[in-house]
Amino acid sequence: DAGVIQSPRHEVTEMGQEVTLRCKPISGHDYLFWYRQTMMRGLELLIYFNNNVPIDDSGMPEDRFSAKMPNASFSTLKIQPSEPRDSAVYFCASSPGGGTEAFFGQGTRLTVV
């Protein structure tokens, strides 16, 4: 398996623009997580899905953030409009569930200028 695949790896955008981050989880994994990592706050859970259904989005900073999982092999995290404070590394991770390990994608480094 290729592991969790994220795209793009790097994104530079201007304030106010829409940004879409993409994730393909490991096949057969029922759980998908979106995290944001910054030096100040570490790894923050934004939202997670179980069998394509959002379970907990309490970590989503505000209404500018939205996430979808239309099928078992694809998820998106959208920021509209983007702001400089959204600059961070965004990770997607997937897990088979049952309390077992989560595996991370390579991350998307987002810079909003």
Residue whose tokens read 């989880």: 25
How far apart are CB 99 and another protein at their closest, in Å?
Answer: 4
With the C-alpha atoms ordered 39, 41, 45, 47, is the resulting torsion angle positive or negative?
A: negative
How far apart are CB 16 and another protein at their closest, in Å?
Answer: 28
Give the binding site for another protein (CB under 8 A): 31, 33, 35, 42-43, 45, 48, 50, 55-56, 91, 93, 95, 97-107
Q: Which is nearer to another protein, 18 or 56 (CB)?
A: 56
With the C-alpha atoms ordered 29, 98, 107, 11, is the resulting torsion angle positive or negative?
A: positive
How far apart are CB 5 and another protein at their closest, in Å?
Answer: 12
> Which burial class, exposed, middle or buried, applies to 65 when counting CB atoms under 10 A from its CB (0-12, 13-18, 19+)?
buried
Q: Which is nearer to another protein, 81 or 104 (CB)?
A: 104
Q: Which is nearer to another protein, 51 or 80 (CB)?
A: 51
Tally Cβ neighbours within 10 Å of residue 10. Answer: 10
